């Protein structure tokens, strides 16, 4: 499965907000890609709150959210900068199962008609 992450950075130039809108799949393996974006966003317009919005992501691993929260809480380079708000949907989304492959097998219970000459 291809776990791609897409991030749109929305910045209000009047200093009202900075929002990282995340779509695609957030996994333990790719959540670290948000760290430099978050660091940059926190220094753009201090002390505005930076929102990481995961509500539009199609797949979110719980361990990825935990790792992201830990990184937010323990990023010492960001001491005293803008606070971070993590928006997570109610109930983490998992991938939908792949559609079942239906095979049309011959019906062996059909009545057979034998013609004799």
pLDDT at 78: 62
pLDDT at 75: 80
Q: What tens digit of pLDDT does each residue of 28-75 get?
A: 999 999 999 999 988 887 788 999 999 999 999 999 999 999 999 888
Q: Rounded mean pLDDT of the chain?
A: 80
Domains of the chain: 5-87 (3.30.750.24)
CA–CA gap between residue 23 and residue 98 (Å, rounded): 20
Q: What tens digit of pLDDT does each residue of 20-30 get?
A: 999 999 999 99
Taking alpha carbons only, the member of 60, 52, 62 closest to residue 7 is: 52
């Amino acid at each position: 499965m291809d776990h791609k992450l897409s991030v749109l950075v929305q910045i209000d130039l009047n200093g009202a907000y900075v929002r990282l809108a995340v779509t695609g799949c957030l996994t333990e393996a790719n959540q670290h890609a948000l760290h430099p974006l978050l660091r940059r966003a926190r220094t753009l317009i201090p002390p505005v709150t930076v929102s990481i919005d995961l509500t539009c992501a199609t797949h979110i691993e719980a361990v990825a959210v935990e790792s992201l929260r830990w990184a937010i809480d323990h990023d010492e380079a960001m001491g005293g900068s803008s606070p971070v708000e993590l928006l997570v949907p109610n109930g983490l989304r998992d991938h939908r199962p792949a559609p079942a492959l239906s095979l049309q097998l011959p019906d062996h219970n059909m009545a057979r008609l034998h013609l004799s000459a």
